[in-house]
């Protein structure tokens, strides 16, 4: 019996070799280069946003049509400078457009305590040679989407203020956005702005609600994807630091946040949610699971302010109705353990 198996195995191996040989002998048809997807990146440029901009700029999967900046981690002008510098580091000449300098309620937030007053670790890294374009960010988004209906993807790495303004100014044109990728919400885990709210949503929950309710296709990458094995360890950041000018730039920009984490519960490693969300955009093999949900953002003041509730499609809750539009694909599992190595390989 064993001998028969061995003979059969040998025959199959020979057949496979023959097929392989035939395959290599035949002339291979020329393959057209895959068309690059078109993205606009909307960002409140701090160190994590900058690392995501670099990842996108180094990718051959996408063309960055433009970068629209807004207040969030830092003020609007600093956000623009940081974006310009990150793009220059990566050799990209994508234009940068100025958007919102305050949120929908007229407030300006910041995360100086996390990323430093320049958002980039206060390490004297920011000396861009370029300047922001004259055109307004909202006009740029609307003009670009109108010129290429159904083709433009928005990657939102900060509060949703710019996107909500575009939706409110011209909802019809915004329906022609191909999809929105949002780094925001706590996902199915705890928040960082409050026990239930995540910083980007907390920065402008009214805008986040407008975006969720817009009917535009949305994929959300929440905070819960960025913890644990996805966090960049001190040893990994040291490897990044030695990986050429870009690696050094990204590692240096993370200096302040490493200090912040050291006194906030995870000494020795930090989250980088924006580059992780960008990796979901660029590399479908990184995303292991998404679930359809109805996303609902709480905008009323109180302890749950800026929480986003996710009603999972097909799940029956005991007391809450789950009959809303399932308007969000929530990324619920990524290849966390390979995140850093993928990032390093992509930006080297």
Q: With respect to Ca ion, which residue has the nearer C-beta, 167 or 221?
A: 221
Q: Applying CB under 5 A, which part among 3-11, 150-158, 306-314, 319-327 lies near Ca ion? A: 150-158
* Number of residues located near Ca ion, criterion CB under 5 A: 5
Q: With respect to Ca ion, which residue has the nearer C-beta, 274 or 326?
A: 274
Q: Report, in Å, the least distance between residue 293 CB and Ca ion.
A: 22
* 40, 47, 49, 182: residue in contact with Ca ion (rule CB under 5 A): 49
Q: With binding defined as CB under 5 A, does residue 157 bind Ca ion? A: yes
Q: With binding defined as CB under 5 A, does residue 76 bind Ca ion? A: no
| 122 among known catalytic residues | no
As beta bridge partners, residue 155 has 41, 181
Q: Report, in Å, the least distance between residue 60 CB and Ca ion.
A: 24
Give Cα separations from 250 to 1, 52, 129, 341 (angstroms).
61, 10, 18, 14
* 66, 99, 158, 191: residue in contact with Ca ion (rule CB under 5 A): 158
Q: Applying CB under 5 A, which part among 23-31, 39-47, 84-92, 260-268 lies near Ca ion? A: 39-47
Q: With binding defined as CB under 5 A, does residue 69 bind Ca ion? A: no
Q: Applying CB under 5 A, which part among 47-55, 61-69, 122-130, 169-177 lies near Ca ion? A: 47-55
Catalytic choice (44, 48, 204, 274):
44
Report the site for Ca ion in 264-323 (rule: CB under 5 A): 274
Q: With respect to Ca ion, which residue has the nearer C-beta, 116 or 311?
A: 116
Q: Report, in Å, the least distance between residue 273 CB and Ca ion.
A: 8
Q: Applying CB under 5 A, which part among 20-28, 42-50, 307-315, 320-328 lies near Ca ion? A: 42-50
Q: Report, in Å, the least distance between residue 19 CB and Ca ion.
A: 50
Report the site for Ca ion in 108-147 (rule: CB under 5 A): none
Q: With respect to Ca ion, which residue has the nearer C-beta, 44 or 110?
A: 44
Q: Report, in Å, the least distance between residue 119 CB and Ca ion.
A: 9
CA distance 185 to 189: 9
What phi and psi, each to the nearest 5 degrees, are found at residue 177?
Answer: -65, 135
Report the site for Ca ion in 322-341 (rule: CB under 5 A): none
Q: Report, in Å, the least distance between residue 30 CB and Ca ion.
A: 41
| Residues with a known catalytic role | 44
Query: Would you tell me which residues interact with Ca ion (CB under 5 A)?
Result: 44, 49, 157-158, 274
């Amino acid at each position: 019996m064993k001998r028969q198996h061995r003979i059969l195995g040998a025959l199959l191996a020979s057949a496979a070799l023959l097929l392989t040989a035939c395959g290599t002998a035949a002339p291979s048809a020329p393959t057209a280069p895959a068309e690059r997807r078109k993205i606009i990146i909307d960002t409140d440029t701090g160190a994590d946003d900058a690392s995501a901009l670099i990842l996108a700029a180094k990718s051959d999967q996408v063309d960055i049509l433009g970068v629209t900046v807004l207040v969030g981690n830092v003020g609007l002008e600093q956000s623009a400078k940081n974006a310009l510098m990150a793009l220059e580091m990566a050799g990209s000449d994508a234009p940068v457009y100025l958007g919102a300098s305050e949120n929908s309620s007229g407030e300006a937030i910041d995360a100086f305590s996390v990323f430093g007053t320049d958002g980039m670790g206060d390490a004297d890294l920011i000396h861009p040679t370029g300047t922001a374009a004259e055109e307004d960010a909202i006009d740029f988004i609307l003009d670009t989407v109108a010129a290429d209906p159904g083709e433009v993807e928005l990657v939102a790495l900060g509060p949703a203020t710019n996107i909500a303004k575009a939706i409110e100014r011209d909802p019809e044109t915004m329906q022609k956005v191909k999809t929105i990728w949002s780094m925001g919400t706590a996902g199915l885990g705890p928040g960082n702005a409050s026990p239930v709210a995540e910083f980007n949503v907390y920065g402008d929950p009214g805008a986040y609600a407008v975006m969720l309710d817009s009917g535009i296709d949305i994929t959300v990458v929440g905070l819960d994807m960025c913890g644990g094995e996805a966090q960049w360890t001190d040893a990994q950041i040291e490897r990044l630091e030695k990986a050429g000018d870009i690696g050094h730039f990204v590692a240096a920009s993370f200096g302040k946040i490493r200090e912040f984490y050291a006194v906030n519960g995870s000494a020795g490693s930090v989250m980088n949610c924006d580059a992780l969300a960008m990796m979901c955009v660029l590399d479908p093999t990184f995303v292991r699971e998404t679930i359809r949900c109805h996303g609902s953002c709480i905008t009323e003041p109180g302890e749950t302010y800026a929480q986003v509730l996710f009603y999972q499609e097909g799940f029956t809750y005991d007391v809450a109705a789950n009959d809303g539009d399932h308007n969000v694909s929530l990324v619920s599992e990524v290849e966390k353990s390979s995140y850093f190595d993928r990032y390093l390989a992509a930006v080297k």
